[in-house]
Amino acid sequence: MCGIGGWIGYQEGGEKVADCIRQALHHRGPDGYGIRSFPSATLVHTRLSIIDLSESGAQPMGNENGTIWSICNGEIYNHRELRKDLEGKGHTFKGHSDSEVIPHLYEELGASFVERLRGMFAIAIYDGRTRTLFITRDRFGIKPIFYAPSKAWLAFASELRALLCVPGIDTRPDRQAVYDSTSLLYIPAPETFYRGIRAVQAGEILEAHLVQDGEVAWKTRQYWKGVIAPDQRRSLSEAVDQVEELITAAVRRQLESDVPLGALLSGGIDSSLVSTAAQRLLAGTLRTFNVRFSVQKYDETPAALAVAKHIGSRHTTLDMEEGRGTWEQVLGLLKHVGQPFADLSIFAVNAVSRVMRGHVTVALSGDGGDEGFGGYDVYWQLARIARMQRLPGVVWETIALALGPLVNPAIVPAHIPSRLREVAQADDVQVVQDLFTWIHRDELHRLCLDHEKMMPIRRLFEQQWEHRLPHNVDRTERLSALATEANARVTLASAFLFKVDIASMREGLEVRVPMLDEELFSFGLSLPHKLKVKARECKLVLREVAARQLPSSVARKPKHGFGVPLDRWVNGEFRSQVRESLLSPSSPLPEFFQQDGYEPMVKAFCNGSFSDGLSREALAQRIVFLLSVHVAAGGPV
């Protein structure tokens, strides 16, 4: 795991820009760095040594005659098979680093080299023969990479703030991206907070080359899309047998490391299955870690301890104590993220990463199991909605009218009659959008200045997904497929994986995700809805695998999100600083939002009260979101 950056084309003050990028990415690669400049390009790499700790593993890496150079952030799990094949074709290697296969594989296959890679990665290759730069990202977007195109150059980097080293980038806020993040609480790729910066999407490759007049021409294409093709013939027992084998194989592939390795054991099914397989394959030497909260609703420590005891791992628990979170901690991490973001678990991931880094350099996690195997409540909710929508419209209207006179918060929430009408009339995309957005349209209308920019899921669906969903299936299966597509294409890469990368790499910790092994995840995509959800129990196949390997208290435990009780974790100074910053006359928030839409929330949070019936967690999320916008837009802190 490392940091990468650079550019193709003319860049004034290139040496200083390269050094600025190096410094901005130092935390991602504290073990060393490499900068290689060419007449028309520069590659920058900061190194976190994982495989081949010698100088032979240093990057950038070139082919035998020095015409092709590459830099890689991540791990190539099938590098040994690729190396053997390349050696058979006459290629020679200096060391045994996984990244060293990349320039040689590109030399053999061109841009299609990426289709042979199995791993998590963001890669840049400069081909001096054709003055072409290739940038690509793994199939699921485990490793991030951003780029800034212009007429005379195209720059790229692992993190947004490293790209801000490059002069001439349009850093004005992208209002569409801000409004998308208002409903999702993160910015979906390829958008970023800045007009002049974009994110390479999961499974995408970018090609940029210099044309004769010195300009840079570029284009992107998807090299992997994944296929959602439910196989109705598969039985539950067959699926469980195969998934059990696939998990073991995926973990085995991801255990290679020349530095200490551990696992983040939250106590959920996914991380427990990964930890169980790793402990077995490592012959009982695995170290596991979890976070403990004083608020019982958020704490999974009993389950984590039960699994650690069951598998015999050496376990460490980190306490997130009440009143210990400071303004500096929250602000520092939000500045590091660099754009609107409000998944509160980022604070816990960062805290546990800091502790883990004192013991290990590589960590396994259970991320990706929910997306591949139907692990969210949304999946049983979709089945219920599909059944409800079969009712005639007159039935819905009669129910709504009957509930109208009873509207009283103590009896029927005021929004229920109107929501019933919405559900009755919603198409597939609207149903999924409403379930995937954190803020309902009514609140968005009160908050946002531009109401025409508030449909991110529908826009993304119409642009990218429609042709990939199964047809000639019942409504439940189609809604389930659409939800899986939204999870895998948007939420996973732009929210969950981005969070884990930014929070862990800030501490120099590499996190690997066996549940996102291509073969395992693709098998999950092939499962029909009936093998994902039974009544209100989700992730059916993984639960059955867990029942074979784990205590029943863990295998049948309801889904528990990795949340953080932020309103209790932060101290009193944090609340006063929130008020001072977000309600400051010089805050940039009024450029995006209506003040009477967000000021009541800020005051309620700072007073320790509630706002418009929002839960404590929902209110805290909105505050962190507003603060992240404030920080990204340069507001005073």
CA proximity to 76, closest of 56, 94, 101: 101
CA–CA gap between residue 103 and residue 122 (Å, rounded): 14
The dihedral through the CA atoms of 158, 161, 166, 168 has a sign that is: positive
CA–CA gap between residue 618 and residue 397 (Å, rounded): 31
Contact (Cβ atoms closer than 8 angstroms) between residue 274 and residue 364: yes
User: Is 366 labeled as ligand-binding?
Assistant: yes
CA–CA gap between residue 600 and residue 611 (Å, rounded): 7
DSSP character at residue 550? S
Which residues of 294-377 form beta strands (DSSP E)?
Answer: 314-320, 362-364
CA proximity to 256, closest of 99, 55, 116: 99
Distances (CA, A) of 415 to 400, 425, 613: 10, 16, 12
Backbone dihedral region for residue 415 (phi beyond 0: left; psi -120 to 50: alpha; all else: beta) = alpha
Contact (Cβ atoms closer than 8 angstroms) between residue 418 and residue 440: no
Contact (Cβ atoms closer than 8 angstroms) between residue 236 and residue 544: yes
- Residue 578 sits at φ, ψ, to 5 deg, of -60, -50
Distances (CA, A) of 81 to 74, 78, 88, 253: 17, 6, 11, 12
User: Is 128 labeled as ligand-binding?
Assistant: no
User: Is 98 labeled as ligand-binding?
Assistant: yes
Q: Is 20 a catalytic residue?
A: no
Contact (Cβ atoms closer than 8 angstroms) between residue 423 and residue 431: yes
CA–CA gap between residue 256 and residue 244 (Å, rounded): 20
For helices 236-253 and 540-549, angle between their N-to-C axes, nearest 10 degrees: 70
Residue 553: how many CA atoms within 13 Å on its side-chain side?
A: 10
CA–CA gap between residue 523 and residue 227 (Å, rounded): 10
Query: Count of residues for the chain?
Result: 637
User: Is 365 labeled as ligand-binding?
Assistant: yes
Structure-token pair, residue 309: 């005891």
Residue 210's CB: how many other CB atoms inside 10 A? 22
CA–CA gap between residue 354 and residue 5 (Å, rounded): 24
Q: Which of 2, 165, 538, 606 is catalytic?
A: 2
Residue 46's CB: how many other CB atoms inside 10 A? 28
DSSP character at residue 54? S
Q: Give binding residues for L-glutamine as ranges.
A: 98
Q: Give binding residues for ATP as ranges.
A: 264, 291, 365-366
> Could you give the residue numbers annotated as active site?
2
Q: Give binding residues as ranges.
A: 98, 264, 291, 365-366
